[in-house]
């Protein structure tokens, strides 16, 4: 099985590309093959059409919170949500999110999704800092148009499977809240490089095996870049491989869960997902 881990950006360029860790899974062993650097959103959309079988974990929020969607009157079904934001302009999407916050009380402006509690993830409405809302705006409609299968959200090509990844929750499970990356040159310290090296060492060692049930083979140079994008892409690939093995070996674990509100493929997040209701 080909496994892809995608560290996404809403405005890819030669300086800041989308990083894709392409790996293959053999039993419980995940082997890194190459790092693809995608420099445009058109090229990203074309890559989604690549033939399967593959599973990819994408580092952007696939959904918004039910609270936000209901307050906005936006569709709760994912295909309809994807069509809606796919028909908006980027300034229009930004303006809608800003207008929603404008008259709301502090603490009630940006809503997290239920399954994100304790994961460290920011609200998918976030437009600044790490602008995950803009990543959603650019990523979700492209996944939908590509016709990939999104478990729990959209039936598509079963040979091309997309799940939501989040490298931050995996990194915290391995090295705690220790910082390991920085985009700004002034913050790129030796301590961050040491943390990235440690994170990769743990991920490819016994700690990674204990958490994910996988033996991960990956080169040391993935920890070199101060921004951490290649390392985050690998973390997403490990999350994708972990959930693929569950789909193959323990399908009942997912079959009993309600995935319709979105979900992140990670051992710490799965327990937060609600059970399906009967009737």
Contacts of 74 (CB under 8 A, 6+ apart): 64, 68, 81, 84
- Helix residue spans in the chain (DSSP H): 41-48, 66-72, 78-86, 90-102, 132-146, 167-175, 190-203, 206-212, 229-249, 251-255
Residue keyed to tokens 């999704």 = 113
Query: Residue 279 — very low, low, confident or very high, per pLDDT cuts 50/70/90?
Result: low
- Please indicate, yes or no, if residue 195 is contained in any of the structural domains: yes
- Please indicate, yes or no, if residue 197 is contained in any of the structural domains: yes
- Express each pLDDT in 126-174 by its tens digit: 999 899 999 999 999 999 999 999 999 999 999 999 999 999 999 999 9
Residue 140 sits at the vertex; the CA angle it makes with 10 and 257, to the nearest 5 degrees, is: 130
Q: What is the pLDDT of residue 187?
A: 85
- Please indicate, yes or no, if residue 38 is contained in any of the structural domains: yes
- Express each pLDDT in 17-54 by its tens digit: 999 999 999 999 999 999 999 999 999 999 999 999 99
- Please indicate, yes or no, if residue 278 is contained in any of the structural domains: no
Query: Residue 116 — very low, low, confident or very high, per pLDDT cuts 50/70/90?
Result: confident
Q: Work out the percent of the chain whose per-residue pLDDT is above 90.
A: 91
Which position has the higher pLDDT, 213 or 278? 213
Q: What is the pLDDT of residue 278?
A: 64
pTM: 0.96
CB-CB neighbours of 14 under 10 Å: 8
- Please indicate, yes or no, if residue 85 is contained in any of the structural domains: no
Q: What is the pLDDT of residue 172?
A: 96
Query: Residue 276 — very low, low, confident or very high, per pLDDT cuts 50/70/90?
Result: confident
- Smallest Cα–Cα separation from 5: which of 259, 222, 247, 260? 222
Number of domains making up the chain: 1
- Please indicate, yes or no, if residue 53 is contained in any of the structural domains: yes
Residue 243's domain comprises 2-61+161-248
- Express each pLDDT in 199-212 by its tens digit: 999 999 999 999 99
- Please indicate, yes or no, if residue 118 is contained in any of the structural domains: no
State the average pLDDT for the chain. Answer: 95
Instruction: Write the secondary structure of 96-130 as one string of H (helix), E (strand) and C (coil).
Output: HHHHHHHCCCCCCCCCCCHHHCCCCCCCCCCCCCC
Residue 125 and residue 133 in contact, taking contact as beta carbons nearer than 8 Å = yes
Least confident of 13-22, 114-123, 200-209, 227-236: 114-123
pLDDT for 117 beyond 90:
no
Q: What is the pLDDT of residue 119?
A: 81
């Amino acid at each position: 099985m080909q496994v892809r881990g995608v560290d996404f950006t809403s405005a890819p360029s030669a300086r800041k590309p989308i990083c894709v860790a392409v790996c293959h899974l053999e039993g419980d062993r995940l082997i890194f093959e190459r790092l693809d650097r995608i420099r445009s959103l058109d090229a990203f959309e074309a890559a989604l059409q690549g033939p399967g079988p593959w599973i990819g974990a994408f580092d952007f929020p696939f959904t918004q919170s039910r609270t936000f969607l209901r307050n906005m009157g936006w569709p709760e079904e994912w295909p309809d949500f994807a069509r809606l934001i796919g028909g908006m302009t980027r300034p229009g999407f930004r303006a809608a999110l800003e207008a929603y916050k404008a008259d709301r009380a502090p603490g009630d402006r940006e809503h997290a999704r239920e399954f994100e509690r304790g994961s460290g993830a920011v609200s998918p409405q976030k437009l600044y800092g790490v602008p995950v809302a803009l990543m959603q705006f650019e990523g979700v409609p492209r996944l939908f148009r590509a016709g990939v299968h999104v478990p729990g959200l959209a039936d598509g090509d079963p040979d091309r499977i997309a799940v939501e990844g989040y490298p931050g929750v995996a990194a915290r499970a391995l090295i705690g809240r220790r910082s390991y990356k920085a985009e700004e040159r002034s913050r790129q310290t030796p301590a961050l490089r040491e943390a990235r090296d440690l994170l990769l060492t743990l991920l490819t060692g016994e700690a990674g095996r204990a958490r994910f049930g996988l033996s991960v083979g990956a080169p040391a140079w993935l920890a070199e870049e101060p921004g951490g994008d290649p390392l985050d892409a690998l973390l997403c690939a490990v999350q994708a491989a972990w959930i693929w093995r569950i789909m193959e070996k323990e399908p009942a674990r997912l079959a009993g869960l309600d995935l319709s509100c979105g979900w992140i493929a990670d051992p710490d997040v799965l327990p937060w997902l609600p059970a399906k209701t009967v009737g």
